[in-house]
Structure 1
Amino acid sequence: MTRVRLLDQAGFAAFFVLAAVLGRQTVPGDGGLALAWPAAGVAAAWFAATGWQRLLVADALVMFVCAWAVNDLTGAPSRLALGLAVGTVVQVVVFGVLLSRWCPAMWGFGDEPPPGVQGQRDLGLLMAASLLSAVAAALTGPTTILFLTDGSWVALVTWVLRNAVAVLAIFPLSLLARNAARAREAEGLAGIGRGGFIEAGFLGLVTIVAAWLVFVVNDELPVPFLLLGTCVWAGARFSSWVADIHALLVAAAVVLFTLLGEGPFSTIDDVDTRQIVVQSYIVVVVSINLVLSVARREGLRLNRRIARAEVEQRNQATMLRTILDTMADGVSVLGADGRLVLRNPAAAHLVGETRTDDQGRVESSSYGIFHVDGREIAPGEGPIARAMTGEVGEPLDVFVRNAAAPDGRVLAVTARPVPDSDPPLVVSVYHDVTSDRRERDELASFAGVVAHDLLNPLTVVEGWSEALLEEARAGVAVPPDMQADQLERIVRAAQRMQHLISDLLAYTTARDLRINPVRVDLRAVAADVARARVDAARVQDAEPPQIVVPPALPAVLAEPVLLRQVIDNLVGNAVKYVAPGTVPEIVVAATVLAEGNGQPMVLIEVSDNGIGIPEDQQSRVFDTFHRAHADSGYRGTGLGLSIVKRIAERHEGTAWAATNAATGGTTMSVTFPAADRD
């Protein structure tokens, strides 16, 4: 046995002896049992603190000796002292067995603090354990004494009630004291607050006044219920500390006034009747305080959980609302009755503003939604209508044209019924796939054009190569001029393939190259492109184009490689698309557009005297693989202007074509961010 263990045992033994001595002082002068026996509660706390340890027998032996000695030394008969000591040990052991099975957290304490009486279930089990252990104890020592003496069954019942209520009154306080000692639980007097202390003071004052009225002013009127009102107040308004202490003080006052012959209970002549009435009253006092304080504690704990849940729900709702509001995809929730429950800003942007009828139901026909081929969507055919029936389908592409999308856009709509929603709800998601579908269509067109444009020169190369091979194998003498013509055809076909492949690489570069805009001297780039075009014409013994580049052009913010590609494509088209025998005349100009509220832009214009572009095709020439003069003998891949527009858009600019009124040719315009704001 360690020194700490000895100190714990000595401390509990001292408290037990003190409680037993106080209990023996409550024996009425006209005989009978003691009106209070706090030693039973101290014994329960003693064993609960130590738990089922190896030295349990030593604790039980010390408790037995202390109980027998106190009863014997305070005038109890030897047989009664022995029986009461046996009953005390039996009560504690049975209480421990029951409580350790039903509420193990309250028994043994251990390293973690016991949670105390957390709810009505714990309180009910504690009451049951207290009562059953008192009954079990009564069936041992006190019952034997009853048969050997002239005691009554009423006295035995009184003994059971007295010992049970002692455990109920003291054991919960021992749990609270143990928690407070380890500073793990904040509930207690420290958590009352200033307003609570004032109310506690009023509670004490009202309790004193009620006790004075019940036991001093008029002890003949049956008005002990006045004190029960203060018990209700204490249990319903204060912590378990205050409620339990209040119950102990009221019980002590009842016992004290009754011993002094004051109050309504002292007027009961029969000793046994008086004692059982007093014990019953104390049971009611303690039970009211315990039940209400535990209910209050449960209610506060439940309110805290509800408050935390509400905060979590608000935070979650705020987070979800923020996520929905920042989503690029539209989300809406629609009820089975056609009423809109939820909608994020992206849905309004993609589909349009909500229009409802007189009953608040959404009018789906007002959105201008069609199949991608232009057919109207029949009732019950759309994804939302199918989801209303519980069907979970694949995303459906729809075409939307309304005030929110005057040019029309393609949306992939996914609709799902919300599980377990009452009334039924459907959540729909709108994803803008306009550019994706356009790129898909462009890719399909790209594959077809590439296949066609590559197969044609390959066919030429293959055909003339086979012809040359057959002539060589046959030993046929082919005139040199014919051989040169055949080889020229092969070279031209190979060059066409090379140009197409180069344009495809340029198109991919314009789409995928990472943009790192820097300050670029536009005049230097345009002048360099002009010199290259003039030199190329002289190499081919052609009339060199006349390209005018002003001595000063505004600088732009651009990726240098891509900017040069834009200028080269525009100048190259101006050189190519001229009437036969006409010398290309090209003017490169640039001006800074008004800044407005955003980034100032530089308008770059390349004007020519070429064959021009029909007005009905000026907006289409920037489409991938579109060739306005495909049937006029001008070669090309249809990618040049598409590359120009894509590069401009990646620089936050745009591109367009217009007729050059001065020459009848074309003016190609692109915009790039200005490098200087002045």
Structure 2
Amino acid sequence: MDRRDHRPDRPDGAGADRQAVPARRPARSGSARARDRGSPGVSRARVLDLAGFAAYFVLAAVLGRLTVLDGASLALLWPAAGVAAAWFAVTGWNRWLIVDGVVLLACSWLINDLTGVSTSLSLGLALGTLAQVLLFGLLISRWCPSMWGFGEEPPPGVQSLRDLGYLMAAVFLSTTVASLIGPTSILFEADGEWGGLVTWVLRNAAAVLAIFPLSLLARNTARAPRGQRGLGGLGAGGTVEAVLLALCTAGLVWMVFLVTDGLPLPFVVVVTCVWAGTRFTSWVSDIHALAVSGAVAALTVLGHGPFDEIADIGSRELTFQTYIALVVVINLVLSVGRREALLLNQRLALSEEAAAAQATTMRTILDSMADGVTVLDQDGRLVLRNPAAATLVGTPRLDDEGRLAPDPEEISALDGRSLVGEEGLLARALSGEVIEGLDLLVRNPSVPDGRMLQVTARPIIGSDPPSTVLVFHDVTADRRERDELASFAGVVAHDLLNPLTVVEGWSEALLEPARNGVSVPPHLQVEQLERIQRAAQRMQHLINDLLAYTTARDLAIKLVRVDVVAVVEDIVRARVDAARVQSGLVPRITVAPGVPAVRAEPVLLRQVLDNLVGNAVKYVAPGVVPEVSVTGRRAEGDASMVLIEVSDNGIGIPEGHRSRVFDSFHRAHRDGGYRGTGLGLSIVKRVAERHGGTAWVRGNDATGGTTMCVTFPAAD
């Protein structure tokens, strides 16, 4: 009668320490699909598979029949049940199922019949084995489809305790139901007790749990590519500990079943099962359970050990099967649990590494951002801020409880809304309200020059505790540019309106007499046309300045070596020629030799020098011959820059205007009859700053005029 071998389930064909592979039904290989189609070449392979599994089953059945006790018909171990489950799991539901079933039925019946079991009982046990395998297939293909019909692509095995639960449920349910189909009536006919039926169920279930996963491992290893075959290592224990486990197990079995023969101490051996399950991979734990089961069965058959002391043969078999089932389940549960814990720890470690890498990346991004980022919790406590936030906002002011408490005099909203208080913008932002594009003025000891910031506040969805992120964008230059553009529009409209009014008025004065047929004296016509011409020239100068202003702002800079002396000399020649034609007063302009060359955009550098020389020539008292000197040298304190100075004997710049003459459209001499747009010096400073330099003005004590200073990078 069948009796299955006890071998702990193998949770993973690749070993407990391998990385988990999601449980899924592997795709059928090409050879398996071809085999199902029945091509001649593959049919031969299928026959070889059938013959191999049949031989495997016969060998397991013969070994099982060697464990039959005197006076009993059931074998203590029946590993053939586990072999049958692995056999049918490989082939699955295909056209060969009937052939496989007939071969299995014949092998089981013949082995039992040839080893002393009656023909009727052999047939009943064979039917029970076949029914168990088919029912097991129905259940496991539904609950764990990757374990059924995989052909040449075995699944990785039991991935978790959940999969193990499904496997155990499928095994015990199929074995219990199958026992009612095959051996029930015969068993009751033999002894009339339920004990024999329970023994059959426990024996066959334990055999499937032990042999089925280990068979998957063997097939998985055989199908693996060369160089990748292996059982996945020993686990945490290592070789030395594995040897100690084997020695301790052998010693305990010897002591319990030979030295203390008759004492009820078989539970002591279970300690080694706990050791194997918690320290080694699943295949080591499986083999350990098989070794313990085989040794205990052999000693019991030979008449040694506590089980042999049980007088009733049915009770002896039931007690033995319960013990073996306990050994198998302990090894199986502990090894799968260990593997699941290791895989979980591995995933956690990978998640921690990924989170740490992501945090490092985010920190790097935050630290490199020009915008300030600050994170506050729901109570207003500072959680995080990047260096840009510290630069833009300065040191935060905190209250006694560590909450952010901005000083309204240091940080204020431009629209007049309050930042503090229960109804303030900060409290509303911390409560989850989204605030977009709020302009703040920051002026505190950390930001002495003051700064305009645009802030956006948003709640961080899913944060625990609830948090709010504030993003600060420096809009100081943008707002200054906006104000300049607003002023620019006003000045342009005003300055263009005046000459246009003049042109329109004098054009009308010329047109009206012509319409009425009235002649106008020639000298009046000349005077009116000259006025129109001067107005047009003023508009032309304004437009030229606006174009120069735009060029200074937007022209792409291509730095080249520029000879400052050559550029100034060319400008001087043009200015002298123009002065001879316009006023007859020829300015005296000197250029000091040896002015260092600079690296600059030639067009922009010429604009700067032309503006400075032109202002020096223009802003002089009436009747005074302009005297201008251009000098240059390395800047003090920074030898990489060249300082260019343009000094004049002009009317000078009042002290209160010197800090503002570089502002757009600012004019220090509006009422002196000196025409201009107020853009010249603004262009000078903008160009210098775009080259990494700067511009400033100081008085010329020697002449009472002005000295304009500008710096550019040295060419060498």
The match for 1:338 among 366, 374, 380 is: 380
Distance 1:450 1:382, change over 3 A: farther
The 1-side partners of 2:380 and 2:390 are apart by 17
Cα deviation digits, residues 209-252 of structure 1 (max 9, x gap): 11011101112221111110000111111111011111111111
In the other structure, the counterpart of 1:56 is 97
Displacement after TM superposition at 1:145 (Å): 1.5
SS at match of 1:542: coil
* Aligned mate of 1:8, from 49, 71, 96: 49
Distance in 2 separating the partners of 1:312 and 1:194: 25
For the 8 Å contact 1:595–1:601, the answer to whether it is kept is no
Q: Deviations over 1:37-96 (max 9, x none)?
A: 000000000000111111110010111111111111112111111111111111111111
Deviation at residue 321 of structure 1 after TM alignment: 0.5
Structure 2 equivalent of residue 426 of structure 1: 468
- 3-state SS, counterpart of residue 395 of structure 1: strand
Q: Distance in 2 between matches of 1:494 and 1:358?
A: 68
Question: Within 1, Cα distance between the matches of 2:495 and 2:423?
Answer: 42
- CA offsets 1:414-469 (integer angstroms, 9 cap, x no match): 12222233333221111110000000000011111111111111111111112211
Corresponding position of 1:21: 62
> Could you say what secondary structure the match of 2:183 adopts?
helix
The match for 1:413 is 455
Selected match of 2:647 from 604, 607, 613: 607
> Residue 160 of structure 2 aligns to which amino acid in structure 1?
G
Match of 1:140 in 2: 181
1:114 to 2:155 alignment: yes
**Residues in 1 aligned to 2:369 and 2:155: alpha-carbon distance in whole angstroms:** 49
CA distance in 1, matches of 2:153, 2:624: 100
- TM-score relative to the length of structure 1: 0.96
Structure 2 partner of 1:70: 111
Structure 1 segment 586-597 matched on structure 2, within 5 A? 586-594=628-636, 596=638
Q: Does residue 104 of the first structure (1) align with residue 145 of the second (2)?
A: yes
Task: Give, in angstroms, the shift of residue 399 of structure 1.
Answer: 1.0
Residue 383 of structure 1 contacts residue 413 of structure 1 at CA under 8 Å; is this kept in 2?
no
Write the letter of the residue equivalent to 2:257. Answer: F
Aligned partners of 2:74, 2:419: CA distance in 1, in Å? 92
Matched, 1:549 2:596: no
Q: Is the 8 A contact 2:235 2:280 kept in 1?
A: no
1:355–1:366 Cα contact (<8 Å) kept: no
Q: 2:126 aligns with which of 85, 89, 94?
A: 85
CA contact (8 A) 1:372 1:410 kept: no
Is it true that 1:628 corresponds to 2:668 in the alignment? yes
1:515 matched to 2:554: no
CA distance in 1, matches of 2:543, 2:96: 95
**Counterpart in the other structure of 2:270:** 228
Q: Does residue 80 of structure 2 align to residue 39 of structure 1?
A: yes
Q: Distance in 1 between matches of 2:421 and 2:162?
A: 58
1:584 aligns with 2:626: yes
Alignment partner, residue 19 of structure 2: none
Distance 1:29 1:375, change over 3 A: closer
Following superposition, which runs of at least 4 residues in structure 1 exceed 6 angstroms of deviation? 184-188, 373-376
Tell me if structure 2 keeps the 8 A contact 1:189–1:242.
no
CA distance in structure 2 between the partners assigned to 1:187 and 1:426 by the alignment: 54
What root-mean-square deviation, in Å, do the aligned CA atoms of Structure 1 and Structure 2 show?
A: 1.9
The residue that corresponds to 1:247 in the other structure is: 289
Per the TM alignment, residue 376 of structure 1 is displaced from its structure 2 partner at its CA by 7.3
Contact 1:26 1:255 in 2 (8 A): yes
Instruction: State the one-letter code of the partner of 1:635.
Output: R
Q: d(CA) in 1 for partners of 2:76 and 2:504?
A: 122
Instruction: After superposing the two structures, state which structure 1 stretch, 464-473 or 510-519, moved more.
Output: 464-473
SS at match of 1:656: strand
Q: Do 2:419 and 2:425's aligned partners in 1 also have CA atoms closer than 8 Å? A: no
- Kindly indicate whether the alpha-carbon contact (under 8 Å) linking 1:384 and 1:426 is maintained by their aligned counterparts in 2: no
Establish whether residue 360 from structure 1 lines up as the match of residue 380 from structure 2.
Answer: no
Paired residue type of 1:314: A
The aligned runs of 1:407-486 (5 Å cut-off) are 407-486=449-528
Partner of 2:14: none
- Is 1:310 equivalent to 2:373 in the alignment? no
Partner residue in 1 for 2:257: 215
Q: Which moved more, 1:299-308 or 1:380-389?
A: 380-389
Shift of 1:189: 4.7
Counterparts in 2 of 1:116 and 1:76: CA distance versus 1, 3 Å: same
Alpha-carbon separation, structure 1, partners of 2:703 and 2:151: 100
Alignment-mate amino acid for residue 607 of structure 1? S
Secondary structure of the structure 1 residue equivalent to 2:492: helix
Contact 1:188 1:241 (8 Å CA) reproduced: no
Per-residue deviation, 1:371: 3.4
Q: Matches of 2:409 and 2:67 in 1, distance apart?
A: 89
The 3 A distance-change label for structure 1 pair 208 and 645 is same
Q: Report deviation, 1:402.
A: 1.8
Which position in structure 2 is the counterpart of 1:569? 611
Q: Which runs of 5+ in 1 are unaligned?
A: none
CA distance in 2, matches of 1:541, 1:6: 118
Amino acid at match of 1:47: F
Secondary structure of 1:394's aligned partner: strand
Deviation at 1:140, TM superposition (A): 1.8
Equivalents in 1 of 2:584, 2:261: separation in Å?
A: 135
Contact 1:554–1:590 (8 Å) recurs in 2: yes
Q: Flag the 1:362–1:371 CA change in 2: closer, same or farther, 3 A.
A: closer
Amino acid at match of 2:158: V
Given the alignment, which residue of 123, 145, 152 partners 2:164? 123
State the secondary structure of the residue aligned to 2:441: strand
Number of equivalent positions: 674
Give, in angstroms, the shift of residue 484 of structure 1: 0.5
Q: Which moved more, 1:399-408 or 1:227-236?
A: 399-408
Query: In structure 2, the residue corresponding to 1:427 is in which secondary structure?
Result: strand
| C-alpha displacement of 1:375 | 9.0
Which deviates further from its counterpart, 584-593 or 132-141?
132-141
2-structure distance, mates of 1:575, 1:167: 108
Residue 695 of structure 2: aligned partner: 655
Tell me if the contact between 2:456 and 2:472 (Cα under 8 Å) persists in the aligned partners: yes
**Which amino acid in 1 is paired with 2:605?**
L
Contact 1:188 1:242 in 2 (8 A): no
> Match for 1:636: what amino acid?
G
Contact 2:408 2:420 in 1 (8 A): no
Task: Output one character per residue of 1:589-648: Cα deviation in whole Å (capped at 9) or x when no partner.
Answer: 11102465xx71101110111111111111101001111111221110111100000000
The answer on whether the counterparts of 1:23 and 1:34 sit within 8 Å (CA) in structure 2 is: yes
2:92 and 2:109 mapped to 1: Cα distance? Answer: 23
Which moves more between the two structures, 448-457 or 375-384?
375-384
Structure 1's 34 and 371: CA in aligned 2 closer, same or farther, altered over 3 A? closer
**Whole-Å separation in 1 of the counterparts to 2:602 and 2:707:** 23
Matched residues, percent identical? 67
**TM-score when normalising by structure 2:** 0.91
617-626 vs 369-378, which moves further: 369-378
Contact 2:152 2:223 in 1 (8 A): no
The structure showing larger relative contact order (alpha-carbon pairs under 8 Å, at least 6 residues apart) is: 2
